[in-house]
Amino acid sequence: MSKVMEKKTNVRNEQTKKPEVKSEVKKEKTNSIIEVNDLNLWYGSDQALYEVSMDIPQERVTAIIGPSGCGKSTFLKTLNRMVEMVPIVKTSGSIKYREQDIFSSKFKEEYLRTKVGMVFQKPNPFPKSIYDNVAYGPRIHGVKKKEILDQIVEKSLKGAAIWDELKDRLHENAYGLSGGQQQRVCIARALAVEPDVILMDEPTSALDPISTAKVEELVQELKEKYSIVIVTHNMQQAARISDKTAFFLNGELIEYADTDNLFQNPQDKRTEDYITGRFG
Ligand SMILES: Nc1ncnc2c1ncn2[C@@H]1O[C@H](COP(=O)(O)OP(=O)(O)OP(=O)(O)O)[C@@H](O)[C@H]1O
């Protein structure tokens, strides 16, 4: 995977527009776990993100909302550099995780993916037992002792609020679980390598309302220990579970504010139009 850093001055002048909310998004400097500055991203010659700057607060839930194709998933996948699996991707700008530049050659991508875990839209357990799914990451990192793996599996499933449901079924295939249970096992799998940040890309869009409610409740519990960034199409969900909300449109960050403020008192007409259902 290659990271192509463009000369920022040229690139920005030629191809990008400045967002109107830069000062707004810079307010919350303290207690940020990730700081994004002037991020641009291209798929080949098509630009998907424009000068995005925002800080992700620690131990809070940050929601990313916006209409289809506005760059929500692209932005999320940039935070752990997963987006660079698409070979034509180029980026400019900076992202710092705990004040370290994630694009620096000194910063190991493997470490980043451990610390910044990801949960996807469709539950994607491996075709293995529940136990082996959760133990997968720790084993890759060299944990071999059964007692230690047992502890990690229990702790992670407890962290994902699914231990009581599954403790007697650990050696059953994860494919036999319901979609909602699979998603919580995937969250446990992410927790097993001890991340700080969990990126969630529409984690409930494939789930029924009861499973969705359980995952939303879990997100609330997880923010005691983890920083969560969640992409959602569902504005009610963003309003219910997030502390901060970022509204994206056409690859730009239009507005980023405390969730209550953004929904009750949007500062930008485009945010207001979106949240009142005028488009999207
Ligand atoms: N692998 C890719 N190759 C080329 N272009 C891509 C790729 N992935 C996304 N894009 C483009 O980047 C832009 C942003 O897409 P992205 O999936 O990030 O938006 P989104 O807001 O998450 O959309 P949705 O809500 O529909 O999932 C779109 O124009 C999309 O076509």
With a 6 A CB cut-off, is 43 part of the ligand 1 pocket?
A: yes
Q: Which two tokens stand for residue 206?
A: 């494939």
Determine whether the shortest distance from the Cβ of 68 to ligand 1 is under 6 A. yes
Atom of ligand 1 nearest to the CA of 233: 25
Looking at the CA of residue 231, tell me the nearest atom of ligand 1.
22
Query: Distance from the CA of 251 to the center of ligand 1, in angstroms?
Result: 9
**Structure-token pair, residue 35:** 């700081």
| 134-179 pLDDT per residue, tens | 999 999 999 999 999 999 999 999 999 899 999 999 999 999 999 9
Between the CA of 38 and the centroid of ligand 1 the distance, in Å, is 19
Backbone angles phi, psi at 83, to 5 degrees: -60, -25
Angle at 231 between CA 229 and CA 236, to 5 degrees: 105
Domain boundaries of the chain, sorted by first residue? 125-194
- Closest by CA to 47, choosing from 14, 9, 82, is 14
* pTM of the complete model beyond 0.95: no
Residue at token pair 């990313």:
64
What is the CA(206)–ligand 1 centre distance, in A? Answer: 19
Pocket test for ligand 1, best of 47, 72, 230 (most atoms within 8 A of CB): 72
For residue 70, give the ligand 1 atom closest to its CA.
21
Residue 117 in contact with residue 191, Cβ under 8 Å?
yes
pLDDT of residue 30: 53
| Nearest Cα residue to atom 27 of ligand 1 | 68
List per-residue pLDDT tens for the chain, 280 residues long: 333 333 333 232 234 444 444 434 444 445 999 999 999 999 999 999 999 999 999 999 999 999 999 999 999 999 999 999 999 999 999 999 999 999 998 999 889 999 999 999 999 999 999 999 999 999 999 999 999 999 999 999 999 989 999 999 999 999 999 999 999 999 999 999 999 999 999 999 988 999 899 899 999 999 999 999 999 999 999 999 999 999 999 999 999 999 999 999 999 999 999 999 887 7
Residues 6+ apart with CB under 8 A from 11: 40, 92
Structure tokens given for 134: 């959760």
SS3 226: coil
Structure tokens at 177: 């679980």
Q: Is the CB of 90 under 6 A from ligand 1?
A: no
User: How many angstroms does the Cα of residue 73 sit away from the middle of ligand 1?
Assistant: 7
| Residue 80 · residue 116 · CB < 8 Å | yes
Report the pLDDT value the prediction gives residue 118, as an integer from 0 to 100: 94
Q: How far is the CA of 74 from the centre of ligand 1 (A)?
A: 6
The answer to whether the CB of 141 falls within 8 A of the CB of 193 is yes
What local confidence, expressed as pLDDT, does residue 278 receive? 81
Question: What pLDDT is stored for residue 279 in this prediction?
Answer: 77
Alpha helix (H) ranges present in the chain? 8-15, 22-25, 72-78, 109-115, 130-140, 146-159, 163-166, 179-191, 209-222, 235-241, 259-264, 269-275
Number of H helices, E strands in the chain: 12, 10
